[in-house]
A = this chain, B = another copy of it.
Amino acid sequence: MAELKQAEIAKLAGVSQATVSRVLKGDPQVNMEMRERVLAVVQQLGYVPDARAQSLRSQRTRLLGLVIHRAPDALAGDPFFSALIAMIVEQAGRYDYHLCVDTARTARSQRAIYEELLRTRRVDGLILVESETHDRRIERLSREGFPFVLIGRYDPEDAVCSVDNDNIGAAFLATDYLLRTGRRRIAYLGGPAGLTVTRDRLQGYKTALESHGVGYDPSRVVFADFNPRSAASATTELLRQNPPPDAIVALDDMLAIAAMRTAKQHGCRVPEDLALIGFNDSPLCEYVEPRLTSVAVEIPTLARKATELLIELVEGREPSLRRQIVPARLVKRDSA
């Protein structure tokens, strides 16, 4: 099978190469007879245009980028990301885009990877997750005018396109529920302190406490990295207090489950002595004992909106809504 190019098709169809291109692009300026002649040959040979050449000429790769800021092993067990990736891929596919996934464990390699993706023009746009409160990537990308969408929130820059869970509302929901069911010594187990999501949920937690007239006690707030050891030691710190908390709102299900294990090891009964609420409503929740109550964030919606928004930016349309909030809801199970 000889290498297929538009030139070959053109020769076989007895037209010029420009015409072949026009037919394939659906240009209306080409008459029926020619169009059919070309399409016949294209069909017969199964010709598909070379994406590399298209990319160069059109300055578009039809590739979107997703960079995940975690070491591969911290990512490995996390169902949030496989869901996110799957949904973005799915959604991008609808518009004929593909997804390029990268990871970057260290801060240095993070910058390098953004530099590379941006400068080499390998991708048309980027989806960012796990933003920090002062995020150099975001400032950089904004300055360069490179299309990107944030999954999460970013305060300083107002023009940044973002799609976010209603994290403040979600944490409020969880904390409020615990308060209503009689808990009073509610602790907050956050992720890394620099993450926007950690701060937003802390905010919702505080607001709920206030609305019930329960004092906010900073010693009941701890932070952990996304690994079991860190989560366990943070939980232990909470449980050692006197009196110990009677409930924990955790940043995500993995942390909540790690806390559950630790609590059990300390002889705590869940939910009698300690109520637990996680985030993400991951499949895990159903499988642990007791089943974990969790705040469901709609990952598919999040992914869909982010992807659509990014594609709008990439294709130069002005998005109708630059910031979108996806509501969350509490899924009650047995742990709280």
Contact = CB atoms under 8 A, between A and B. Distances in A.
Interface residues of A, number: 57
Interface stretch (A15-23, A78-86, A173-181, A197-205): A78-86
B284 A287 contact: yes
Interface string A100-142: 1111000000000001100111100000000000000000000
A108 to B, nearest CB: 13
Contact of A75 (B47, B59, B82): B82
A98 B122 contact: yes
B101 A101 contact: yes
Interface stretch (A50-58, A162-170, A214-222, A313-321): A50-58
A120 B76 contact: no
DSSP class of A's interface residues: helix, strand, loop or mixed? helix
B76 A283 contact: yes
A72 B48 contact: no
A237 interface: no
A52 B50 contact: no
A303 to B, nearest CB: 9
Number of copies: 2
B90 A72 contact: yes
A120 B61 contact: no
Contact of A100 (B46, B52, B98, B254): B98
B283 A261 contact: no
Given A56-B53, A299-B76, A98 B87 contact: no
A285 to B, nearest CB: 10
A192 to B, nearest CB: 18
A99 interface: yes
Contacts of A273: none
A115 B48 contact: yes
Interface string A35-74: 0000000000011111111011001010100001010110
A257 interface: yes
